[in-house]
């Protein structure tokens, strides 16, 4: 089967691998659509902390069940999306119902080979049968679920004013699910076009130019009270460090970003606000199901932020252009041909 391998940072190659055979408890999925994620781009760029090479990238996946191993109940032919986080089921996080931050987590396409290929065999628990959502939209569920999880972490309600830092795909998920939770939502980004898009497409309530005086703009937008929740989706150390000084007293900060360096902040600023600082890693089945429900009833939009698509056979020729700064890619989707 055709497989695209990231051999080392900056190098992807097409290889011919054997089609996998599903083992007991596994499902062989014929891949239909692959969402390209910041994680894939960072892995290709060599600046993702959890990667080793060579690696088959791709963790935002949808497809059709092609065959099954022993003891599997999922019917052959079912349309599925894949939850790419494989958890151990035994560690303290798993026992406490937080499989998304399992201490032994293996993410498909990160810690083990992913879905930039024609077929992938995964545990049955990693597939969710879903009717009535297109394969391209199903490949975007994971990305949206990350944002939905961040919103759940902060327990956002209609009483909140949420500032989402970074209007990329994860930020777009975070701002959509903050709106769905009833909050007033402000987005901040360095690119004006992205902010305009979020106003027009998702009806957010305000925007902040991240290159300008952010504190002054927030003061103006919130009558001097500042956002009660800040969700960082930038992967930018300065943005992350700026959150504490721009937060309402009693507010919550959610770091969805993961960066390679330490971050520092001023403790008196942290303390006087009684700041709640939350990490947000991956997503849970509950988040995925919330996303699917919101896609089905129209409260969430998926395809709207897909700026680029390609056929699988064109991916190698296209990938370099997509990862270039200034490419205009918000979200790209690869369709199997
Ligand atoms: Zn992703
Ligand atoms: Zn675990």
Residue in 324, 128, 146 with CA at minimum distance from that of residue 231: 146
Whole-number pLDDT of residue 185 = 98
Mean pLDDT of 84-105: 96
CA of 83 to the centre of ligand 1 (A): 11
Question: Nearest ligand to the C-alpha of residue 42?
Answer: 1
**Contact predicate 219/248, CB 8 Å:** no
Domain boundaries, the chain: 2-140+302-335, 146-279
Whole-number pLDDT of residue 328 = 81
235-239, 262-266, 269-273, 317-321: range with lowest mean pLDDT: 317-321
Mean pLDDT of 245-268: 95
Mean pLDDT of 128-150: 95
CA of 94 to the centre of ligand 2 (A): 4
Question: Nearest ligand to the C-alpha of residue 108?
Answer: 1
Residue in 128, 108, 139, 134 with CA at minimum distance from that of residue 33: 139
CA of 176 to the centre of ligand 1 (A): 17
Q: Which two tokens stand for residue 35?
A: 């969402």
Q: CATH number of 2-140+302-335: 3.90.180.10, 1.10.10.10, 3.40.50.300, 3.10.129.10?
A: 3.90.180.10
pLDDT tens, 55-93?
Answer: 999 999 999 999 999 999 999 999 999 999 999 999 999
pLDDT at 310 over 90: yes
Alpha-carbon span 135 to 100, nearest angstrom? 24
pLDDT tens, 192-201?
Answer: 999 999 999 9
CA of 325 to the centre of ligand 1 (A): 19
CA of 96 to the centre of ligand 2 (A): 9
Mean pLDDT, the chain, rounded, equals 95
**Contact predicate 128/80, CB 8 Å:** yes
Predicted model pTM: 0.94
Q: Quick one: 146-279 is in which CATH superfamily? A: NAD(P)-binding Rossmann-like Domain (3.40.50.720)
CA of 246 to the centre of ligand 2 (A): 35
CA of 26 to the centre of ligand 1 (A): 22
Mean pLDDT of 110-116: 94
Residue in 178, 159, 158 with CA at minimum distance from that of residue 167: 178
CA of 71 to the centre of ligand 2 (A): 23
Whole-number pLDDT of residue 293 = 96
pLDDT at 180 over 90: yes
CA of 136 to the centre of ligand 2 (A): 30
Question: Cis before residue 317, ω within 30 degrees of 0?
Answer: no
């Amino acid at each position: 089967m055709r497989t695209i391998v990231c051999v080392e940072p900056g190098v992807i190659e097409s290889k011919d691998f054997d089609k996998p055979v599903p083992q007991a408890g596994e499902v062989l999925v014929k891949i239909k659509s692959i969402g390209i994620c910041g994680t894939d781009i960072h892995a290709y760029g060599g600046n993702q902390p959890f990667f080793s090479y060579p690696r088959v990238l791709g963790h935002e996946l949808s497809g059709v069940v092609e065959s099954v191993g022993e003891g599997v109940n999922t019917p052959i032919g079912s349309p599925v999306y894949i939850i790419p986080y494989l958890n151990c089921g035994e560690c303290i996080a798993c026992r406490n119902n937080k499989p998304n931050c399992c201490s032994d987590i293996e993410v498909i396409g990160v810690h083990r080979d992913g879905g930039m290929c024609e077929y992938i065999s995964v545990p049955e628990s990693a597939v969710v049968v879903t009717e009535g959502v297109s394969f391209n939209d199903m490949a975007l569920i994971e990305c949206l679920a990350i944002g939905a999880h961040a919103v759940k972490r902060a327990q956002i309600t209609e009483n909140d004013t949420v500032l989402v830092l970074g209007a990329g795909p994860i930020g777009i998920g975070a701002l959509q699910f903050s709106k769905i939770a009833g909050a007033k939502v402000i987005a901040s980004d360095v690119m004006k076009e992205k902010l305009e898009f979020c106003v027009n497409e998702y009806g957010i309530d305000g925007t902040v130019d991240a290159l300008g005086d952010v504190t002054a703009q927030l003061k103006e937008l919130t009558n001097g009270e500042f956002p009660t929740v800040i969700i960082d989706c930038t992967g930018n150390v300065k943005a992350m460090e700026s959150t504490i000084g721009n937060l309402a007293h009693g507010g919550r900060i959610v770091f969805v970003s993961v960066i390679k360096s330490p971050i520092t902040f001023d403790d008196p600023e942290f303390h006087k606000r009684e700041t709640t600082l939350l990490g947000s890693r991956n997503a849970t089945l509950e988040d995925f199901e919330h996303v699917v429900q919101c896609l089905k009833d129209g409260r969430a939009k998926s395809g709207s932020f897909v700026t680029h698509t390609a056929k699988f056979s064109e991916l190698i020729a296209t990938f370099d252009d997509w990862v270039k700064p200034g490419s205009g890619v918000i979200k790209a989707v690869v369709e199997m041909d």
